[in-house]
Amino acid sequence: MLKIKPTNINYNEAVISIRDLYKSFGHNHVLRGINLDVYKGENVVVLGRSGTGKSVLIKIIVGLLKPGKGSVNVLGMEVDKLNGAELRELRLKIGFSFQHSALYDSMTVRENLEFPLVRHRKSLTRSEVNNAIDEVLDAVGLLQTKKQMPSELSGGQRKRIGIARTLILQPQIMLYDEPTAGLDPISSIEINNLINEVQEQYHTSSIIITHDLTCAKATGDRVAMLLDGKFIRQGTFDEVFGTDDERIRIFFDYNFIK
């Protein structure tokens, strides 16, 4: 069931490098000293309870939110120091899959996928665009939904289309916000496999945010545990959970009810 993970990770090249990152909303101090490196070709899973600031963290990486303090370096660029054009340039290399899919309601599934593609790859011919759309739809197993509107899809289907939409531009970095939340176990495993295939095929580096330990175990080369605005533990899945730390044990115990 769980696939053997590929191991061609380049530990000399960090694609994302975060140092002493702080972020507050008013008096709500969400992130308090985050340090994280993501290496080329690596899948890093970020675990943490609801409201600990996981979504905030990846939104800062992609420049949707400004960091309060500290530095966020993505593909060699300081995200908060970029101007509009540079930021757009960087974002083309990052795929961001939203927690609630964020599909464009007014467009069909096909148009959702076509939209970023035709805007950014102007040289593509009609048939190349069609092929690219079919390819990613096939990868998420939803070829038959091409003509449907997002409102006609189930939550899990929307999520997969959301991932397909980010994959279509073949990003170097993928940021998945809870890719398996709300999916049935079989679809979850399919998504996990998809995440691993993407890593293998396109040599992408990813941050995968999740509550789902099966997903963490299946996709993560490394797991980082977020608590009270800091990573309290990082390492392989077994390293992180091979501990007596009550705060981490509780997470594990509730996920795999004995």
Ligand X SMILES: Nc1ncnc2c1ncn2[C@@H]1O[C@H](COP(=O)(O)OP(=O)(O)OP(=O)(O)O)[C@@H](O)[C@H]1O
Contact call for residues 100 and 91 (beta carbons, < 8 A) = no
From the list Mg ion, ligand X, other proteins, none, pick the one residue 56 interacts with, judged by a Cβ distance below 5 to 8 Å according to partner type.
ligand X
Taking CB under 8 A as the rule, which mask of x and - marks residues 22-41 in contact with other proteins? Answer: ----xxxx------------
Please report where in the chains the tokens 């939904």 appear, as a residue. 145
Measured between alpha carbons, how far is 92 from 172 in angstroms, rounded to an integer?
9
Task: Out of 16, 18, 53, 133, name the contact with ligand X by CB under 6 A.
Answer: 53
Contact call for residues 124 and 118 (beta carbons, < 8 A) = yes
Task: Out of 43, 52, 55, 157, name the contact with Mg ion by CB under 5 A.
Answer: 55
Displacement of CA 233 from its chain's centroid (Å): 20
Residue 166 binding Mg ion, by CB under 5 A: no
Residue 164 binding ligand X, by CB under 6 A: no
The residue count for binding other proteins (CB under 8 A) is 27
| Residues 188, 193, 92, 116, CA torsion sign | negative
Task: Out of 21, 36, 45, 103, name the contact with other proteins by CB under 8 A.
Answer: 103
249 phi-psi bin (left φ>0, alpha ψ -120 to 50, beta other): alpha
Q: Considering only residues 14-43, where is the footprint of ligand X by CB under 6 A?
A: 25, 28, 30
From the list other proteins, Mg ion, ligand X, none, pick the one residue 109 interacts with, judged by a Cβ distance below 5 to 8 Å according to partner type.
none
Contact call for residues 37 and 48 (beta carbons, < 8 A) = no
Q: Which residue is nearest to Mg ion (CB)?
A: 55
Residues that bind ligand X (CB under 6 A): 25, 28, 30, 48, 50-56, 99
